[in-house]
């Protein structure tokens, strides 16, 4: 439970980065959400063997992190956590796809290895883009942008509440787990049998806490409307931001920039 609470609190630190005052932070959230969605669609739509074509897409997270003053190590640590799960997805690709597609001298690289590496790179790009979006926008502003872009309000409100009260749940769970450990003598009461009562107690406490929170929200006049801390508008800067990056992603999607640069370099050397 402590590790889960630590991970959630670590994610809260990422959301705190959204309180910055750079040009990226001041952009309307809708533009940043749309650019991130276009980026993800462009990355995942590439063929499974087009590994080299993915590397130019690293330009976007590098530029946004630099302009938004986001800590590279902080983002990279969170991306690395996801990579083992992506590796499990493509782990057996080399076994099922053994057709050699690339030869580096005597070494032959099969399509399975290319597709496995492609899955890892895609995961790093897409997860990194999502984390960067949270870091320069904030999760509440992202939910508000989704609402303004036409997503059903009931979904955006539930998404916002899930994020906001996830910290409350982990706090209650952490206290319950500590109380369980303090009431145990040695290893007694810490076995698998105790998890049933622990989870039921956690469910009841969170249910009662949710009812109190709901009553407090109704007492304060909550009607399901968003009240953003920072009011922005979709202006010319947002349009240029959206159009510029959409054009770059379209270029990277239609043209293998890595292969083109390699041909230019090798042709120039030759």
- Specify whether 219 is located in the same domain as 241: no
Mean pLDDT of the chain: 81
- Specify whether 240 is located in the same domain as 136: yes
Query: What pLDDT, on a 0 to 100 scale, did the predictor assign at position 45?
Result: 92
- Specify whether 183 is located in the same domain as 51: no
- Specify whether 206 is located in the same domain as 241: no
159 inside domain: no
**What does residue 113 show for φ and ψ, rounded to 5 degrees?**
-70, -40
* Contact predicate 136/39, CB 8 Å: no
Number of domains in the chain: 2
* Contact predicate 5/170, CB 8 Å: yes
- Tell me which residue range forms the domain holding 69: 2-151+232-261
- Total number of residues shown for the chain: 270
Distance (Å) of CA 60 to CA 1, 112, 150, 184: 35, 27, 26, 52
Query: What pLDDT, on a 0 to 100 scale, did the predictor assign at position 247?
Result: 95
- Specify whether 125 is located in the same domain as 256: yes
269 inside domain: no
| Cα 208 to Cα 169: distance, rounded to the nearest angstrom | 12
* HEC readout, 48-84: CCCCHHHHHHHHHHHHHHHHCCCCHHHHHHHHHHHHH
Query: What pLDDT, on a 0 to 100 scale, did the predictor assign at position 36?
Result: 95
- Specify whether 47 is located in the same domain as 104: yes
| Cα 204 to Cα 241: distance, rounded to the nearest angstrom | 47
- Specify whether 129 is located in the same domain as 12: yes
| Cα 167 to Cα 5: distance, rounded to the nearest angstrom | 8
- Specify whether 146 is located in the same domain as 172: no
Task: Going residue by residue through the chain, which has 270 residues, state the pLDDT in tens, using 9 for 90 and above.
Answer: 445 555 566 667 777 888 888 889 889 999 999 999 999 999 999 888 888 889 999 999 999 999 999 888 888 888 888 888 888 888 888 778 777 777 777 777 777 888 888 899 999 999 999 999 998 988 888 888 888 888 888 888 888 888 777 777 777 777 777 776 776 655 555 656 666 677 777 777 777 877 888 788 888 777 766 666 666 778 899 999 999 999 999 999 998 888 788 778 776 554
* Contact predicate 65/125, CB 8 Å: no
- Specify whether 141 is located in the same domain as 52: yes
- Specify whether 39 is located in the same domain as 172: no
- Specify whether 206 is located in the same domain as 246: no
SS3 content of the chain, % helix, strand, coil (to 5): 75, 5, 20
Local structure of 67: helix, strand or coil: helix
| Cα 119 to Cα 138: distance, rounded to the nearest angstrom | 27
* HEC readout, 77-108: HHHHHHHHHHHHHHCCHHHHCCCEEEEECCEE
139 inside domain: yes
Token pair for 255: 């043209």
| Cα 239 to Cα 17: distance, rounded to the nearest angstrom | 24
What angle in degrees, to the nearest 10, is found between the helix axes of 2-16 and 111-137?
A: 60
**Which residue blocks in 149-225 are alpha helix, DSSP H?**
153-164, 166-182, 194-219
Local structure of 156: helix, strand or coil: helix
């Amino acid at each position: 439970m402590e590790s889960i609470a630590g991970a959630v609190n670590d994610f809260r630190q990422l959301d705190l980065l959204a309180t910055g005052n750079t040009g990226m932070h001041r952009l309307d959230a809708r533009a940043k959400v749309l650019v991130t969605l276009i980026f993800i669609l462009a990355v995942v739509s590439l063929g499974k063997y087009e590994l080299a074509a993915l590397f130019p897409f690293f330009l976007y997270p590098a530029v946004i992190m630099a302009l938004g003053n986001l800590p590279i190590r902080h983002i990279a640590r969170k991306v690395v956590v996801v990579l083992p799960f992506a590796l499990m997805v493509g782990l057996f690709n080399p076994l099922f796809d053994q057709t050699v597609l690339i030869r580096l001298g005597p070494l032959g690289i099969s399509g399975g290895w290319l597709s496995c590496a492609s899955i890892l790179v895609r995961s790093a790009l897409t997860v990194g883009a999502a984390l960067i979006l949270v870091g320069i926008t904030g999760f509440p502003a992202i939910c508000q942008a989704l609402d303004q872009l036409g997503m059903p309000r009931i979904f955006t409100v539930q998404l916002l509440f899930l994020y906001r009260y996830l910290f409350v749940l982990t706090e209650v769970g952490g206290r319950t787990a500590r109380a369980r450990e303090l009431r145990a003598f040695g290893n007694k009461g810490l076995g698998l049998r105790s998890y049933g009562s622990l989870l039921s107690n956690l469910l009841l406490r969170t249910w009662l806490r949710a009812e109190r929170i709901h009553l407090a929200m109704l007492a304060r006049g909550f009607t399901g409307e968003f009240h953003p801390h920072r009011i922005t508008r979709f202006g010319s800067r947002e349009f240029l931001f959206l159009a510029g990056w959409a054009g770059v992603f379209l270029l990277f999607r239609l043209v293998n920039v890595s292969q083109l640069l390699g041909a230019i370099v090798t042709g120039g050397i030759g």
